Amino acid sequence: MVNENIKKMADLLRSGSTMLNMACPICNNPTFRNKNGIIFCPTCNRKVLIATSQNHSNERTEILHNKEPGTNNQNKQIEILSLLQDVLFEKLEMITDKLKNETHLQLIETYTKMLLNLLDLLNKISVKRDKL
């Protein structure tokens, strides 16, 4: 029952739980964190275990960042990076298209260098985004 879920979620928020921007891996509904720091899904009525990244770094999951005051700033950064990513993909496509029909060796070299730079940038963006 959808309405029941919404009511349940509203009650949770009122009782001091925080809604997380992470969906339950089972039912895809929003998950919550209660005052004790336990993350759970009110729809499945079960605790949600967060898979921590396999990195060696001690980075916390994005859920923990959520509580920090810098959230807006972070969203803004993610927004900018996504936009940049889109633009770079567009250019990547454009240059690839030009490269396809190019016969002038020097221009081919120029284009491939551009592509290399674009790919490098895209790679850096995805690393940066993962850290946000």
Is 23 a binding residue for Zn ion by CB under 5 A? The answer is no
Q: How far apart are CA 10 and CA 19, in angstroms?
A: 10
The single residue among 20, 41, 95, 118 that binds Zn ion, judged by CB under 5 A, is 41
**Residue 20: phi, psi to the nearest 5?**
-100, 155
Q: Give the contacts of 20 (CB within 8 A, at least 6 positions apart).
A: 30, 31, 32, 33, 39, 63, 66
The single residue among 12, 20, 24, 39 that binds Zn ion, judged by CB under 5 A, is 24
Q: Which residue has the tokens 């990547």?
A: 92
The single residue among 5, 18, 34, 43 that binds Zn ion, judged by CB under 5 A, is 43
Q: Give the contacts of 22 (CB within 8 A, at least 6 positions apart).
A: 30, 31, 39, 48, 50, 62, 63
Shortest distance, position 79 Cβ to Zn ion, whole Å: 28
Shortest distance, position 40 Cβ to Zn ion, whole Å: 9
Is 47 or 113 the residue whose CB approaches Zn ion more closely? 47
Which parts of 83-122 interact with Zn ion (CB under 5 A)?
none
Residues making up the chain, counted from first to last:
132
Is 28 or 82 the residue whose CB approaches Zn ion more closely? 28
Contact footprint for Zn ion (CB under 5 A) = 24, 26-27, 41, 43-44
